[in-house]
Amino acid sequence: MSEGQHGKRSAGLLLFRHTGNGLEVLIGHMGGPFYARRDAGAWTLPKGEYGPDETAWDAARREFREELGLPPPDGEAVALGEVTQANGKVVTAWAIEAELDPAAMVPGTFTMEWPPRSGQRQEFPELDRVEWMAPERARTLLVKAQTVFLDRLAEHSAGESAFGQ
């Protein structure tokens, strides 16, 4: 969210499910005042930063729990690789096929000075909502670099159906 992210690493989970309407993914709208009135580019997969003492996989699962207040689902993890966002942060992601009720989310929070230079500190949700949506819609809302994860998930799903798995 801030400048100077170069060298920072983040990891997350992209849940997906197959419905009568096709493939859907679960993404979250970033909380806080900077994203309150934005839609395009203000959505992300549940993810967060980690340091050298934690693996990306462990961080992805921890961050899922912290941001959604729910345990990360079990299931086969499909590696979606890494992307580098415009701010320089490297994001590693996995996809897991699972069900989740967005209404069950209890978001983690962060505190920041708001309004700027006011001396007042306010608490905001890390994600203010999560939503299941078709990849085509998610593509218009996600942080631009993260749309690559949708392409990689589609490749995996196409390969799965081609082999009847």
Which strand (E) or helix (H) includes residue 106?
none
Asked whether the beta carbons of 17 and 24 are under 8 A apart, the reply is yes
pLDDT digits (tens, 9 = 90+) for 133-152: 999 999 999 999 999 999 99
Q: Which two tokens stand for residue 156?
A: 């995996």
Regarding pTM above 0.85, the answer is yes
pLDDT of 157 reads: 81
User: pLDDT tens across 86-130, in order?
Assistant: 999 999 999 999 999 999 999 999 999 999 999 999 999 999 999
31 contact partners, CB below 8 Å, separation of at least 6: 107, 109, 110, 124, 125, 126, 127, 128
Q: Are 135 and 150 contacting, i.e. CB atoms less than 8 angstroms apart?
A: yes
The answer to whether 56 touches 24, Cβ cutoff 8 Å, is no
Could you give the CA distance from residue 53 to residue 13 in angstroms, rounded to a whole number? Answer: 19
pLDDT at 161: 56
pLDDT of 45-89, one tens digit each? 999 999 999 999 999 999 999 999 999 999 999 999 999 999 999
